[in-house]
Chains A and B, each alone.
Chain A
Amino acid sequence: MADPIKTQDHDSWHLYKQMIRCRLFEKEVMRLWHEGAISGEMHLSMGEEAIVVGIVDQLEDGDAMALDHRGTAPMLVRGVDPVLLLKEFMGRPDGLGGGMGGHMHLFSPEHLVASSGIVGASGPAAVGFAIANRRLRPDKISVAFFGEGATNQGMMLESFNLAATWKLPVMFVCKDNGQAILTQSANVTGGNLMDRVRGFGLRAIEVNGSNVEEVWNAANQEISYLRKGEGPVFIHAACFHMEGHLLGDQLLRFAHPSMSETLKTTISLVKAHTQSRGAPLRERTAGLKEVLGIVRETVRKHRSKEGDPIPPLRRKLLNLDAEKLHEWESQIRNEIEAILQQLVLPVEQVGG
């Protein structure tokens, strides 16, 4: 059982190392995606590193994880081979799942980690892992990662109830960036989320998801409660998705608008706003203002990078020991470089 120690500077160094490792790894994923070496969608953990590292770093053998579509960082921190991950993202037969799954469907039986591209699916999955653990691996826990969008999904709410009813050792981790693709979650969420969760009989705590030390400390205490059989917990951690919902995010494109796309959007919007027969003009204008507001806020957040968990911690460590920081960072860069060297890039992506 982990001792409930507070993080010291020593630990902060370790946590920083894990976070920067995820960040630099995902920057390479991003590059490969932009180069066309990774197909389909790509949802990065970029911006969630403090939450992921603060929790996953404390897991041990036998603990299980149920991941959503943003599984790269949890997999990395849990110790899954990064080369296998990259190869899987590239759809290679020597990837983690033989190229069958891709980044949304990552599985590692030896780590008890399963993921899903269906929003909310990590709830039931974590409950099931906990049932198995309670019988087969006492003291071991399960962790569910999901976004705030999943907290309106029926299966997630049903999982809260199951975990509470059966007093299962589940840590439900809600990574709340306030936005579900194009939808501002506050606009589609009734009541107060924490009250809602407590209504199911779960312990519910809030942490700053951009502060890894805060996440680590809270998770440390909660993990010890879970191991003692004190029933499930819900951790709410606010965060920021640096690259939006996915790479090529349509809202973020407004941060660097192309002339042709802007023109196309504007023409159809003006038409919709002015054509006869439809809602009253006041309603049309209100609708237009609403969408402009969403775009403005998204672009503002993206540009300000507020909530990026890495710079504040880096500044702190830089003040403590700049030389050590640079040395550690260069170690990580070397590791990432070594990972990339193990890839032999395919000559071309085969389409149809």
Chain B
Amino acid sequence: MRTLNFAEAIEDALMQAMTNDHNIIIMGEDVHGLRLNLRIRFGRDRVLPTPISEGAFVGAAVTAAMGGLHPVVEVMLVDFIGVAMDAVLNHAAKIEKFSGGKWKVPIVVRATCGGGYGDGGQHEQSLWGWLAHIPGLTVLVPSTPLDAGGLMMAALAHDGPVIYLEHKLLSEPWLDAMGGGSRKNVKFDVPPEGTRGGVPKIWEPIPIGQGVIRCDGGDLTIVSLGVSVHRALEAAGVLEKEGISAQVIDLRSVAPLDKQLVIGSVSKTGRMLVVDEDYRGFGLLGELAALVLEAGISIKYSRVCTEDTIPFSRQLEYQTLPNVERIVESAVNLVNS
């Protein structure tokens, strides 16, 4: 076991994968700087900096994949995927089906996501529910260095399009670039277990669609992902003192969802609280409720999520993104109702 930061784990996994598979390339804005070590080691034709042309370079990554490569294409912030949405929605996600299963599109779209550092509603969104809504896409959201590397390996072992989302609060270089700017006097609520941790010497892919139980409990199930997992775990600690025992599930993958893990847990606890940094309506929160209902299980349900456009103001931002107080309050209400 070694100890690495979240971003180091991703780079380490990419280093291993690119050493073993010469068809893996990296494309995207500023990657000559952001992925400097990979560019130096593997050469400039494998780490390709692009202009600010997301529509073109994500579209091109789709056919580069169809032509035999395995591109990791970076759009910096998932918010910017709006500009490249046609390539994702109408091409990457569809071509395998349209070709009768004959032509796969093995690309990894890597982007940062999430808020908590005061950058406003055009740079702090999660959007995984929106992306997972589209059939054909795999959407992965790691919450620890171990999962960050393991899920990158999984993304690269997969033969279809994967959206790989890296939360900026967990990723030190991104948080520094976007939030800190080398200042020592700005504070962020960074969960330490998410930013640094043990990783294997040799990476193995984590099976896609497999969630994990982060904390055992019997009174209610808290289903979460990304940074919200750490908020949920902190809340579970508070709840324990109040005599409420929460089981915390880290989904790790939005699409496909680990239905069995969720159903197994809620059939024991009878209560599900979903903590999701994404928007409320028409997303993961509702999807989880639907799959439990479809399984014929009757539960009590509530959700803590991002209710509205994310405000720039740190105070308003804090209230808008899922926080420990809101999770505790919601859990207590759920158990006592």
Contact = CB atoms under 8 A, between A and B. Distances in A.
A278 B19 contact: yes
Nearest to A156: B52
Contact of B181 (A180, A185, A246, A286): A246
B187 A349 contact: yes
B43 A39 contact: no
24 contacts: A33-B183, A39-B117, A39-B119, A40-B118, A100-B121, A101-B121, A102-B118, A104-B120, A104-B122, A120-B52, A120-B83, A152-B51, A154-B56, A154-B83, A183-B29, A183-B30, A183-B51, A188-B49, A188-B50, A273-B40, A275-B41, A291-B32, A294-B33, A351-B318
Contacts of A253: 182
Contacts of A40: 117-120, 123, 178-179, 312
Interface string A254-272: 0000000000000011011
A250 interface: yes
Given A39-B117, A40-B118, A182-B33, A99 B181 contact: no
Nearest to A69: B122
B123 A272 contact: no
A36 B313 contact: no
A67 B237 CA distance: 46
B188 A181 contact: no
B53 A152 contact: yes
Given A154-B55, A279-B41, A279-B43, A117 B120 contact: yes
A82 interface: no
A2 interface: no
A105 interface: yes
Given A40-B179, A41-B181, A247-B181, A118 B122 contact: yes
B188 A102 contact: no
B121 A105 contact: yes
A289 to B, nearest CB: 10
Contacts of A42: 181
A277 interface: yes
B186 interface: yes
Contacts of B52: 119-120, 149-150, 152-153, 180
B32 A183 contact: yes
B288 interface: no
B318 to A, nearest CB: 6
Contacts of B177: 248, 250
Given A40-B117, A180-B52, A248-B180, 7 more contacts: A33-B181, A36-B185, A155-B55, A253-B182, A272-B38, A349-B187, A351-B314
A248 B46 CA distance: 29
Interface in A229-252: 246-248, 250-251
B52 to A, nearest CB: 5
A192 interface: no
A153 B183 contact: no
B34 interface: yes
B260 interface: no
B80 A118 contact: yes
B306 interface: no
A88 B37 CA distance: 38
A284 interface: yes
A279 B117 CA distance: 38
Nearest to B43: A279
Contacts of B314: 39, 91, 349-351
A89 B306 CA distance: 22
B319 to A, nearest CB: 10
Contacts of A39: 117-119, 179, 186, 312, 314
A34 interface: yes
A109 interface: no
Nearest to A249: B181
Nearest to A120: B52
A154 B53 contact: yes
A342 interface: no
Interface residues of B, number: 58
Contact of B33 (A250, A278, A283, A350): A250
B315 interface: yes
Q: How extensive is the interface on chain A, given as a class?
A: 35 or more
Interface string B20-55: 000000000110111011111111101001111111
B119 A102 contact: yes
Interface in B93-119: 116-119
A189 interface: yes
Contacts of B181: 33, 41-42, 246-248
B311 to A, nearest CB: 5
Nearest to B117: A40
Contacts of A327: none
Contacts of B178: 40-41
Contacts of A182: 30, 32-34
Given A247-B181, A253-B182, A278-B41, A155 B83 contact: yes
B312 A91 contact: yes
B290 interface: no
B175 to A, nearest CB: 11
Contacts of A314: none
Interface in B34-85: 34, 36-44, 46, 49-56, 79-80, 82-83
A35 B311 CA distance: 21
B189 A351 contact: yes
Contacts of B43: 278-280, 283-284, 287
A191 interface: no
B189 A105 contact: no
B269 interface: no
A250 B30 CA distance: 12
Closest 7 pairs (CB-CB, A-B): A248-B181, A352-B189, A39-B118, A279-B43, A102-B312, A91-B313, A182-B33
Nearest to A187: B49
A269 B36 CA distance: 8
A105 B120 contact: yes
A116 interface: yes
Contact of A100 (B19, B51, B189, B316): B316
Contacts of A116: 122
B265 interface: no
A263 to B, nearest CB: 15
